[in-house]
């Protein structure tokens, strides 16, 4: 029986998610509804993608008994409010990254999911890509020995995009793209809490971060360096250096299709999209959709690929990095 999806939001990421879903067997996944605050937007999206039901409010979709899980694709400033709406209605939720604006909001979402006994996952799609699954396997098998240093970079000129620079839209490099670098580090170190964190950065006139460098130290003198910026292009790759070798994830490290182990490259091609996409390698969203399906079939309430405890730790790390750089959102004082 197909897993029945409801899309909360009719924007660019929901479009790409829908296109990615079409690369999966129709008997396994089906998008049955889409909701937007403006009914016309939902109806146009539904017509474009042959989705049977369109809702003009999120509250309506929360009551739909024919939906197995909600894909939350609205702006992250709305994740707490809308996420709680669905969780309290006892709906399973896959929430786009970042989970929420700060760790307090993330903990609220997690607490609600556990209280209502429903599935919840932060949509760190990177974790479900075959490349990152292979990285985890190589690390578990001690292929490169003890990891001593991890480096991850992500930079892209986005100062012309309002959601990337405006505080009221949750802008800044950290929440938008820095999250990918930090989650990669946590993946390598298996969700371990760092012993120390030092962050420095540059803020825009709007008060959000333009660029940031974060240095983390873990137990046994293991280190990580993350650099990210929404003003310039960076290498957008990641390197894991161990005592017996090196793993490199070339650009784009957040949605990769290549892996280099000790100089030897392996390819992991993505399926071709049936429609134009808005974001790089977006057909890779299929992997997190299938991960969610497998979790639901097993009756799990969270994914081992990106556990809720690790999402909570990630949000705490981002809070501390923002604190050191001086980035404050209105949600931090609520």
Tell me the per-residue pLDDT of 157-195, one tens digit each, with 9 for 90 and over: 999 999 999 999 999 999 999 999 999 999 999 999 999
What's the rounded Cα separation, in Å, for the pair 192 and 216?
11
Does the pLDDT at position 301 exceed 80? yes
pLDDT of residue 221: 97
Of 281, 289, 226, which is closest to residue 252 (Cα–Cα)?
A: 281
Q: Are the C-beta atoms of residues 315 and 100 closer than 8 Å to each other?
A: yes
Of 93, 9, 99, 94, which is closest to residue 57 (Cα–Cα)?
A: 9
The mean predicted confidence, pLDDT, of the chain is 98
Work out the average pLDDT over 131-152: 98
Position of tokens 């993350």?
226
pLDDT of residue 64: 97
**Strand 120-123 vs strand 92-96: parallel, antiparallel, or unpaired?**
parallel
pLDDT in tens, 100-119: 999 999 999 999 999 999 99
Does the pLDDT at position 334 exceed 80? no
pLDDT of residue 166: 97
- Judge residue 92's burial from the number of C-beta atoms within 10 Å of its C-beta, 0-12 exposed, 13-18 middle, 19 or more buried: buried
CA distances from residue 249 to 3, 88, 171, 243, 330 in whole angstroms, order as listed:
31, 39, 26, 18, 36
Work out the average pLDDT over 205-216: 98
pLDDT of residue 329: 98
Q: What would the two tokens of residue 101 be?
A: 């604006």
pLDDT of residue 240: 98
User: Peptide bond before 98: cis, by omega within 30 degrees of 0?
Assistant: yes
What are phi and psi for residue 272, nearest 5 degrees?
-75, 140
pLDDT of residue 47: 98
pLDDT of residue 27: 96
End-to-end alpha-carbon separation of the chain, Å? 43
What's the rounded Cα separation, in Å, for the pair 169 and 164?
8
pLDDT in tens, 284-298: 999 999 999 999 999
């Amino acid at each position: 029986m197909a897993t029945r999806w409801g899309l909360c939001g009719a924007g660019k990421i929901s479009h790409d998610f829908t296109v990615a879903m079409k690369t999966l067997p129709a008997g396994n996944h089906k998008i049955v509804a889409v909701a937007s605050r403006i009914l016309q937007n939902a109806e146009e999206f539904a017509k474009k993608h042959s989705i049977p039901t369109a809702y003009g409010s999120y509250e309506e979709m929360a009551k739909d008994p024919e939906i197995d899980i909600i894909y939350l694709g609205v702006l992250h400033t709305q994740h707490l409010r809308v996420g709680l709406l669905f969780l309290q209605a006892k709906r399973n939720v896959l929430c786009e990254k970042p989970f929420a604006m700060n760790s307090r909001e993330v903990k609220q979402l997690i607490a609600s999911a556990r209280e209502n006994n429903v599935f919840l996952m932060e949509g760190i799609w990177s974790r479900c890509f075959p490349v990152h699954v292979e990285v985890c396997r190589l690390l578990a098998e001690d292929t490169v020995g003890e990891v001593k240093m991890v480096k991850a970079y992500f930079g892209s000129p986005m100062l012309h995009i309002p959601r990337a620079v405006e505080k009221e839209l949750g802008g800044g490099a950290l929440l938008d793209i820095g999250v990918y670098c930090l989650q990669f580090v946590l993946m390598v170190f298996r969700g371990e809490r760092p012993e120390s964190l030092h962050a420095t950065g540059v803020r825009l006139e709007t008060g959000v971060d333009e660029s940031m460098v974060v240095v983390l130290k873990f137990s046994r003198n293991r280190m990580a360096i993350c650099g990210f910026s929404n003003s310039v292009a960076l290498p957008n790759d990641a390197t894991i250096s161990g005592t017996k070798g090196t793993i490199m994830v070339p650009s784009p490290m957040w949605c990769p299709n290549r892996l280099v182990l000790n100089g030897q490259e392996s390819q992991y091609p993505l399926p071709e999209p049936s429609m134009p996409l808005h974001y790089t390698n977006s057909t890779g969203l299929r992997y997190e959709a299938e991960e969610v399906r497998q979790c639901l079939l097993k009756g799990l309430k969270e994914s081992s690929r990106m556990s809720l405890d690790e999402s909570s730790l990630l949000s705490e790390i981002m809070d501390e990095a923002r604190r050191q750089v001086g980035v404050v959102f209105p949600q931090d004082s609520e």
